[in-house]
Structures are given as C-alpha cells and as structure tokens.
Amino acid sequence: MSSTERDTGAAVAATAAERAIGSAAEPAAESATARVAEGEELRSVTLPTLPGVTLTVRSRPPRRPGLPPALYVHGLGGSSRNWSQLMPLLADRVDGRAVDLPGFGASPPPADGNYSITAHARAVIRLLDTAGDGPVHLLGNSLGGAVATRVAAVRPDLVRTLTLVSPALPELRVQRSAVPTGLLGVPGVARLFGRMTRDWTPERRAHAVIALIYGDPTRVSEEGLRAAIEEMERRSRLPYFWEAMGRSARGIVDAYTLGGQHNLWRQAERVLAPTLLVYGGRDRLVSYRMASRAAVAFRDSRLVTLPDAGHVAMMEYPEAVARAVRELLDDTARS
C-alpha cells in the first residue's frame, strides 16, 4: 500500500474530528501578518493522524448552506491566497477552502522536513479525512496540480471532480525559462540564491515573480501588486522559506524521475474523476505543448487553453477559469 493510500485506522480516527475543516480549529497563528481578503478567514488545523504537520486553511462563507465542498491547492512558492480571486466567483456553487501546504503561506514547516509530492499529498489526504465531508471538488495549480493528481489517483473516494491549472507533470524537454526554478531543487542552490538576492527589495522580488508567472504582467492591479510586495516582506522574515522552496522544488524534480506506479503520468491514467485541464499559452514554467498529452492521459478530461495566460490562469483570468469550472460542475451533476 502506498504511503498516501487509505489508512483505515487513521481515517476512523480522523473522522472523529470536526467534520468541517477548521470549524473548531484555532485562528491561524500567522493571520496577523498573512494577508486576508474581505470575507475570508484563516484557520489552523492540526491533523490528528499526521504528527508534526499543522495546516492553515483559508475559507469564505458559502452563499448558501449545503453546497458541496471544494479544496484549492496552490503551487510552488505560492499560498492559499493564490485562489482568492477565483473562490468568490464559485462561492454560489461550492463551499470552498484553500490550503497552505506545509512550509508555505501561514502553515509552519513539517517537523520531518519532508516536502516531497508524496508528503504534500499525504497532508491533503489527511486534511480531507479529518474534514470527513468528501468527496470534494479538488483544484490544484502547478505543484498543487501534481499533488492533486496523486490524491485523485490513490484516493478516488475523496475526489468528485479534479481541476488542474498548469499542473507540474513530468516533461522530457523542459523549456528554458523553467530551468532556474528547477535548479532550486539542487541541494544548497535555494539558500545560495537567497544569499545572492538578500539585497533585493520586496518590490524587486515581487516584480520578478509576477514577470515569471503572468502571461501579461500589466494585468496585475495596483492592489494585487501591493499584496505581492507585502507577501514578499512577510516571507523574508520566515527562516525556513528557502528550505521549503528548495526541498519542494526537489520534490517536483524527484517526482519527474519516478517510474512504475508512482509516475505521475501513470497516476494521471488512474484518475477516475471528471477532470478539467487549464493551460496558458504564455506559461514560462509548464509548457503549453503538454496540454494535449494531459488531455489523453486523464481518461475523463476536458481541455481549456487560454493563449494569453501564463502559469496562474486562476489569478490572471479568474472569470474564464470560473466559467470552465462551472461547466464541469454542471455536466458532472447531470451525469
């Protein structure tokens, strides 16, 4: 049994916990510094079956009670805030929560220092088991897309639909613009880069990230830029930030080299949930050419391509992504 497969004893123990994610949890310790949009709240959730891991969950009240649950999973270097533009557009259809993976956002680093795809997937699975309200509509971007793919493959009972925005699935020919990010996975490089750029201002760091992940950086509003700068300032105070970045990048690289049943493309073929794939034509991190391969790998899939979008279409074109998700939900409900 895979380490991310169902653990019956753990599931029973987890189900005894609160059934709504964060409903009885403590407010997040970092909430005073992590940015929270109007109508959102952050909660810290201690996972009873995964010692050493505490997750922060961002949520907003659904438009009405009884909506099906959804969970959003961010990408490398991101946080639950990456979904703040999409979540309100779907609040009338799902009861949405976005998780900060261990070591990112307001979630503290894992006690064991494990940032592999498997470890992140295990944390998401335990979170869903703890909530006890699956299956959920699961959405993931980049690293979060790889994590969500693994979750859907090994725990199909937890996933009703799967939405992947530029998922980090293995590529044989990585585009040049993605190489520096991949190099962060080389031991020591992330900390070295941190030292080399220690004199960069938060503004410079924010502009560099925006230029990398947006197809058109001018689409970022002044408010969005201010939020990005604030987040850079907050991250600079976290002693574990570069470790989380480096080890998570290494986890992606390691996942690219895995064979057999743990290969992410093999796991994509095992996914039973109806799947929405969203790819951006100006993505500098995940190649646009991987869209057709993904559409074949996921057995029940639909593909949406946004020619002008970059790596974070849910931030750059949230309305277009929301429309595609609504169509997926409608078709799934009818079937």
pLDDT per residue over 170-207, tens digit each? 876 665 555 455 444 445 545 555 666 677 888 998 99
Asked if the model's pLDDT at residue 134 lies above 80, the reply is no
Asked if the model's pLDDT at residue 98 lies above 60, the reply is yes
> Which of the 8 DSSP states describes residue 184?
T
Q: Tally the residues of the chain.
A: 335
- Across the beta sheet with 41-46, the strand order is 26-27, 41-46, 54-59, 95-100, 69-73, 136-141, 159-165, 275-280, 301-306
pTM for the complete prediction? 0.87
Asked if the model's pLDDT at residue 265 lies above 70, the reply is yes
Other Cβ atoms within 10 Å of 275 Cβ, number: 27
In this prediction, residue 261 carries a pLDDT of: 76
In this prediction, residue 216 carries a pLDDT of: 96
- Model confidence at 44, pLDDT cuts 50, 70, 90, reads very high
Residue 10, judged by CB atoms within 10 A of its CB (0-12, 13-18, 19+), counts as middle
Quote the percentage of the chain above a pLDDT of 70: 82
Cα–Cα distance, 39 to 213 (Å, whole number): 26
In this prediction, residue 188 carries a pLDDT of: 52
Cα–Cα distance, 312 to 143 (Å, whole number): 11
Sign of CA dihedral 303, 167, 163, 221: negative
Residue 41, beta-bridge partner list: 59
Cα–Cα distance, 72 to 86 (Å, whole number): 10
Sign of CA dihedral 9, 159, 105, 176: positive
Mean pLDDT of 253-268: 84
Other Cβ atoms within 10 Å of 172 Cβ, number: 7
- Model confidence at 164, pLDDT cuts 50, 70, 90, reads very high
Assess contact for 15 and 47: CB atoms under 8 A: no
Mean pLDDT of 258-276: 90
Q: Which residue has the tokens 């639950």?
A: 80
In this prediction, residue 196 carries a pLDDT of: 62
